[in-house]
Amino acid sequence: MTRILVAWEDLYFQAMAALVKKVVRATASRPGDPPTVLSFSPKGNGNFERYVHDTWPNVRGKGLSTDPGPLDHLVCVVDGDRLHDLLPAVAKRPSDPAAVAPWLAQAEVQFTTWLRERCPPSGPPATTVHGFVLRWSRESLVLAGYDQPSFAARLGVDVAQRTVADMLSEFCKPTHPNQVPPARFTDTFVKPAGCLQALRKAAGRPPIDKNAPDIDDVIRDLSKEGLAIVRSRVPDLDRFAALVTQLASPTPPSPAPPTPPTSTAPPRARPPRIVATPAAKKKPPRRS
């Protein structure tokens, strides 16, 4: 079974990792036998370089102390809203929703290249290291459930409340979330953390810390009650599951040359061989 280690930039990754594993199981190509996905945090995107250079060569063969065993791949997950801070060569996230998809594709290639360039020549193959860019942060998962019961219960923000609905239209520009197709949700609302704080203010609630337990509680609740909705609004969940499935799929062997068909019919009887015999020579007549 393929074992994949996921390094989350976010220190508070546990609820998010559990949700992702649930999506991986739901989309596994072989039901009942999904790849093993382990998670940890290097505590900030600034530690990815040290991890791929120093730590990955050591843990790949033996695994984690909490789950020993050889590892096959390392996937580093970085928040898209802070990728430019780590890699200044990567353009900052675009504000135009239509520009997000090409930006994301290019940013992910640049991030993966940057990681592999830091792999030591004597270590595991650089192709065992992969970069993944999350749009935009953990708060994106929370905001994707803005109209779910757990969002109102955990955060005290009810979208049916007039002031909250007005704030959704005003702050979460360019339009109210219910007017945005699910597949464009994350590309449209590129500042989920700010939106959450604005909604709390509109509901008469104090600001909430990004690492507050309620944030993780909402994610856990959504993984049970609103997973289909969150997946439709945060395409990165299915993208990540597709990457894991791809890494777990063995390379198909080269096709063997075709063998000539064999017949099971009894062999034909050979016709008798006819051998021609030379004609007898006529004797010349005797002279009298």
pLDDT in tens, 97-121: 899 999 999 999 999 999 999 999 9
Q: Could you tell me the CA-to-CA distances from 10 to 6, 7, 134, 144 in Å, in that order?
A: 11, 9, 11, 18
The domains of the chain are located at 1-135+235-251, 138-233
Beta-carbon count within 10 A of 110 CB: 17
* SS3 label, residue 244: helix
Q: Output the CATH code of domain 1-135+235-251.
A: 3.40.50
The answer to whether 70 and 44 have CB atoms below 8 angstroms apart is: no
pLDDT in tens, 16-35: 999 999 999 988 766 667 89
pLDDT beneath 70: ranges in the chain: 29-32, 171-175, 250-288
Q: In the prediction, which pLDDT does 254 show?
A: 39
- CA dist 129 and 56 (Å) reads 9
